[in-house]
Amino acid sequence: MANVAIIGAQWGDEGKGKVVDWLASRADIVVRFQGGHNAGHTLVVGNQTYKLSLLPSGVVRGKLGIIGNGVVLDPDALLSEIAKVQAQGLEVGPHNLRIAENTPLILPLHSAIDKAREMARGKNAIGTTGRGIGPAYEDKVARRAIRLCDLAEPETVSHKLDELLLHHNTLLAGLGAETFAKQDLLEKILGWAPKLLPFAEAVWERLDQARHDGKRVMFEGAQAVMLDVDHGTYPFVTSSNTVAGNAAAGAGIGPHAIGTVLGIAKAYTTRVGSGPFPTELFDDTGKLLGERGHEFGTVTGRPRRCGWFDACLVRQAVKVGGVQGLVLTKLDVLDGLPELKICTGYEINGELVKRLPAAMAAQAAAKPVYETIEGWSGSTRGARSWAALPAQAIKYVRRIEELVEAPVTLLSTSPERDDTITVSDPFAG
Residues with active-site annotation: 13, 41
Q: Where are the beta strands (DSSP E) in 16-144?
A: 29-32, 41-45, 48-52, 64-67, 97-100
211 φ, ψ (degrees, to nearest 5): -65, -45
3-state secondary structure of 276: coil
Q: Is 387 exposed, middle or buried (0-12, 13-18, 19+ CB in 10 A)?
A: exposed
- Rounded-to-integer distance, Cα 396 and Cα 394, Å: 5
CA 336 to chain centre: 30
* 177: Cβ contacts below 8 Å, ≥ 6 apart: 112, 113, 115, 116
**In 3D, which of 21, 28, 14 has the Cα closest to residue 52?**
21
Neighbours of 215 (CB within 10 A): 17
Query: How far from 321 is each of 21, 130, 267, 346, CA to CA, in Å?
Result: 21, 27, 19, 21
Q: Please name the helix (run of DSSP H) or strand (run of DSSP E) that holds residue 218, with its range, or none.
A: strand 217-220
- DSSP single-letter state for residue 327: E
- Rounded-to-integer distance, Cα 238 and Cα 234, Å: 9
**Cβ distance 207 to 248 under 8 Å?**
no
- DSSP single-letter state for residue 310: E
The amino acid at 291: E
8 φ, ψ (degrees, to nearest 5): -85, 145
Q: What angle do CA 254, 258, 262 make, to 5 degrees?
A: 160
* 97: Cβ contacts below 8 Å, ≥ 6 apart: 55, 56, 59, 64, 65, 66, 67, 82, 199
User: Can the peptide bond before residue 135 be classed as cis, meaning omega within 30 degrees of 0?
Assistant: no
